[in-house]
Structure 1
Amino acid sequence: MVLGGSLVALSGCQAATDTADAPTPSMDPEVDAILDRRATALANEDAPGWLAAVDAGNPALVAHEKQVLANLRQLAPEQVRFRRCGRGPDPVAPGRYASSLPLQSIAYDVDLTMRLPGVDAAATTVRHRYVFGRVDGAVTLVDVARGAAVGGEPVPLTDCPWDTCALQVRRRPGVLLAAQSDVDNADALAEVAAQAVTELRRDWGENPLPESFAVFVAADTDTFRGWFGGAAPDWTDGVTVAVRRAGAKDSGDGRYAGTRIAIDLPASRTAGSPYETIKRQLGYAAGLAMLPASPRPASLPGAAEIGAPLWAVEGFAQYLAGRDSSAVRGRAQTRLRAARLAAEPELGAEPELAANPSFYAAPARSTNLALASSLFQFVAGRYGHRRARELYLAAVTRPAGKSAEPDPQAGLAGALARAGLVGASQADAASTDFYAQWRHFVLRS
């Protein structure tokens, strides 16, 4: 699932144009002044300045704007800018907080550009649709719209955690953790996340990682499902979303700016533990920074068009999640046993890795995940963690001038040869010692 959500796919707006000949008289200059004042107010922690142009007669909207300001203050973004970049449909319909609108109202698409220090390599962009109207003669923010259309496709707006619920932010080395206010153990979760980041840095070796990771924790599944354009598949307890640089195009290099990790806290506890979920998502986040450029930034799990084999991306992340926890490894072993029982009639000389288009498809999804993870568990057990990491890197970083290998078995063969785990002449021979030993590892699970 490659996303077109507000945080994910929007790369900045086109140059705004004055549209004074529209049916409603233009408010462009006044709106620009309001947006500039909001950016200044956020930088100066000036609540009256932030709320100055908000419709005081709409308590729900005022409460929402106070909440957004409080959340952004805690996140402490840099390079903040609000930019008007177009208009919504005319006439304007009421959105999230108003039941009716002033006669003279205009919906404006507004991009919020900001950078989370330590997390983002560059500023990123989030799109909102604000409704401005004339109240007692003054241009006023009267509502926040529910959605917009970008490139002909519906795009959810204001679906970021800081725009949808009250947050409590905790900072630890390597982690910016923002939990929904209903989460009662944010401090403990921040410590768990910091531990997982420390382990990831050790596991990742000399490969580059960001200074810090942004982890958002939802207290309930409905809230989690609404974040980041509904990025998370309905079967997962977490999702990691790649975000692009502000102003980046749909093609070319330099688009990746960072990631946002979202955790469904109740689901993570049901599936195993928050530690396991966070550690796995950190593996995704580290991997997304290394993947070849794709037409749009992606999310994991769930994306098929990420320019790299999912058996490697998922398998390595699942393996990393269990490297420091016997409980996590035990659950992985149980899943592998179930996968082996499901696949045994077809298990020939080598376990079958799934191709990207079918990797997440039910009912084979759990089998595909378990077999991919077993590959890296086997390599680490036989050759050591460094060789497992080298196999992963060989699989996700393509040789110059070559496209991704669509056949996962051929892709594995090439990666094994590039990682030096088998000889180049033996890479596609199912009878080699490597394949026989991996098969034995799966069968004895």
Structure 2
Amino acid sequence: MAFGGIAVLALGLMVFGIVRAVSDDKLPVAGKGGEATAITQAEMSNLLKQHSKALTGGDKGTYLAPFDGGSSALKTKQASLFANLRKVPFAVSEYQFLNIDGRAVDHYGAGASASVDVAFVHQVKGADATPVAEWYRWTVEKKTEDSDLKVTAVGPATPKLAGFGKMTNYPAPWDAYDSMAVTAKPHTVILSDASQAADARRYAPYIEKAAKDNLERWQAHGPKDGRTMPGFVVTLEKNRKVYKNMYRAGTGDEDDESISEAGVSVQMPAVPAGGSKAKVDVQNGGARIVMDTAESRFTRPDYASGVLEISHHELAHTLVEPLTGPDGQAQLWVVEGFAEYMAMRNDSAAAAREVRTLKAYYGGRFVDPFDGKLPTSENFHSTIDEENSAHYTLGWLGIRFIAEKYGEDKALTFVAEQYKNPKGMDAQLTKATGMGTDEFQDAWADYVRKQIS
């Protein structure tokens, strides 16, 4: 029963600041020399500082002023963005300059024009562990040395920004929707198109319950060291095309017809606020969950159990994102097994159904019998739907086996340590169960065979 999982951001050293910039020392500043028309870092930084103040202060006129040089459609879109952002409970919301690329200096009277990468650094109150970022590319023009900067186009930043992988986390719901609805609960902030607000309100209590369940379970039985998420930002979307594009424009995922996930958790790297270049103490400061509400879990008459099931799963992914270490992703049988464990432990009927499905799979619909091997990350996501679902169930039974035999504290500590250090599997299993990888796999295989016999 595959929900989908996490959208992975391959990160290098997280030093937030200028990647490539026009030097302020060598270029004339507008109105001070008359030698050239230049778009400088200092000028862009000042524009973005005023843009940030306008957003936090609710000054729509100042916020929209840089877009006066663009089309009416651009200004209308930015007006809707401003309105959408004002609905979100941000603890931090600021724009930061990253990079200038293009004809940022003009000596011939044609005016300067450049592509400017801009970070929207933000932290949703009660949800994000640290500030995170969405990256834009603005087309900026300056007609004369005394002209104000004007933005004529807005889209996702280049995916080649050093250290940030291929994801730009664009478009967020506030970009995608002309009018966005926000449904806030104590542990969840649920975003949707305004036309889908009634659906969001109907599903919100079940998503909030899943959030509360997961947070309480981790607080009671998870390790006390290491930061986890305090809450969750969830987008509900029933249009499959919009769903697949959310946060993923320019990655190729939005056009991948093989993506059949019902929900996804998109990693959001931690970044410092205030323009600081200091390192942050976690790699991922948050994650954004998107769920497809056209999927059967949301549309069937008994939708409550379906919404709880997928919410427990996807919110589990997000819960532990700040634990992610610098050495890549944890083994997928642990990643998806943990998320399934959090879903199944709250739904005994769904758990029994998962085991029956696995039994039927190995009992005749699959050409090979159960081989007693834990799924590898390389083959975890198969193009065969039944095998994909089987891998999720096998991962779940791996985490459940540890929890049942050695206690839930041991199981959740093992998950946390695997997120921190994916290469430490053998030592982590030994600590949790007293068995190394091979011995654990044999014991787990016997446990699985008993379930499906």
TM-score by length of 1: 0.77
Aligned counterpart in structure 1 of residue 321 of structure 2, from 270, 282, 288:
288
Q: 1:259 to 1:426 in 2, by over 3 A?
A: closer
Asked whether 1:390 is paired with 2:390, we answer no
Alpha carbons 1:53, 1:139 under 8 Å: kept? yes
Asked whether 1:225 is paired with 2:244, we answer yes
> Structure 1 CA distance, aligned partners of 2:143 and 2:44?
14
Aligned to 2:342: 320
Aligned to 2:291: 263
Q: What SS does the aligned partner of 2:149 have?
A: strand
Aligned to 2:170: 158
State which drifts further: 112-121 or 338-347: 338-347
**How far has the Cα of 1:3 moved from its partner?**
4.0
Aligned counterpart in structure 2 of residue 128 of structure 1, from 118, 125, 136:
136
**Amino acid of the structure 2 residue aligned with 1:290:** L
Aligned to 2:90: 77
> Structure 2 CA distance, aligned partners of 1:70 and 1:291?
34
Asked whether 1:110 is paired with 2:91, we answer no
> Structure 2 CA distance, aligned partners of 1:144 and 1:225?
20
Aligned to 1:142: 152
> Structure 2 CA distance, aligned partners of 1:262 and 1:378?
30
**How far has the Cα of 1:129 moved from its partner?**
0.9
**How far has the Cα of 1:80 moved from its partner?**
2.8
> Structure 2 CA distance, aligned partners of 1:125 and 1:25?
31
Aligned to 1:309: 331
Matches within 5 A, 1:177-188: 177-183=190-196, 184-188=198-202
> Structure 1 CA distance, aligned partners of 2:88 and 2:245?
20
By relative contact order (CA 8 Å, sep 6+), the higher-ranking structure is: 2
**How far has the Cα of 1:424 moved from its partner?**
4.4
Aligned to 2:16: 12
**How far has the Cα of 1:55 moved from its partner?**
1.9
Alpha carbons 1:24, 1:105 under 8 Å: kept? no
> Number of matched residues?
407
Aligned to 2:265: 240
Alpha carbons 1:78, 1:116 under 8 Å: kept? yes
> Structure 1 CA distance, aligned partners of 2:235 and 2:157?
22
**How far has the Cα of 1:26 moved from its partner?**
1.1
Q: What SS does the aligned partner of 1:60 have?
A: helix
Aligned counterpart in structure 2 of residue 347 of structure 1, from 370, 383, 389:
370
Q: 1:355 to 1:402 in 2, by over 3 A?
A: closer
Q: 1:370 to 1:261 in 2, by over 3 A?
A: same
TM-score by length of 2: 0.76
Q: 1:371 to 1:249 in 2, by over 3 A?
A: farther
Q: 1:229 to 1:24 in 2, by over 3 A?
A: farther
Asked whether 1:200 is paired with 2:214, we answer yes
Asked whether 1:336 is paired with 2:344, we answer no
Asked whether 1:442 is paired with 2:452, we answer yes
Aligned counterpart in structure 1 of residue 39 of structure 2, from 27, 31, 44:
27
Alpha carbons 2:116, 2:139 under 8 Å: kept? yes
Identity %, equivalent residues: 19
**How far has the Cα of 1:158 moved from its partner?**
3.4
**Amino acid of the structure 1 residue aligned with 2:247:** F
Asked whether 1:428 is paired with 2:430, we answer no
Alpha carbons 2:193, 2:237 under 8 Å: kept? yes
> Structure 2 CA distance, aligned partners of 1:280 and 1:398?
18
> Structure 2 CA distance, aligned partners of 1:400 and 1:291?
5
Q: What SS does the aligned partner of 1:178 have?
A: strand
Q: 1:415 to 1:108 in 2, by over 3 A?
A: closer
Aligned counterpart in structure 1 of residue 101 of structure 2, from 74, 83, 88:
88
Q: CA-to-partner distance for each residue in 1:180-227, whole Å, 9 max, x for gaps?
A: 223232212221111111211333224364332111222311111112
Alpha carbons 2:54, 2:63 under 8 Å: kept? yes
Asked whether 1:373 is paired with 2:396, we answer yes
**How far has the Cα of 1:11 moved from its partner?**
5.6
> Structure 2 CA distance, aligned partners of 1:91 and 1:286?
43
Q: What SS does the aligned partner of 1:259 have?
A: strand
> Structure 2 CA distance, aligned partners of 1:427 and 1:282?
31
Q: 1:24 to 1:391 in 2, by over 3 A?
A: farther
Q: 1:188 to 1:389 in 2, by over 3 A?
A: farther
> Structure 2 CA distance, aligned partners of 1:9 and 1:188?
42
Q: What SS does the aligned partner of 2:378 have?
A: helix
Off by >6 Å, runs of 4+ in structure 1: 7-10, 21-24, 248-252, 399-402
Q: 1:131 to 1:397 in 2, by over 3 A?
A: same
Asked whether 1:53 is paired with 2:75, we answer no
Alpha carbons 1:312, 1:396 under 8 Å: kept? no
**Amino acid of the structure 1 residue aligned with 2:282:** G
Unaligned runs of 5+ in 1: 93-101, 295-304, 406-410
> Structure 2 CA distance, aligned partners of 1:404 and 1:358?
20
- Give the alignment's Cα RMSD to 1 decimal: 3.9
Aligned to 2:32: none
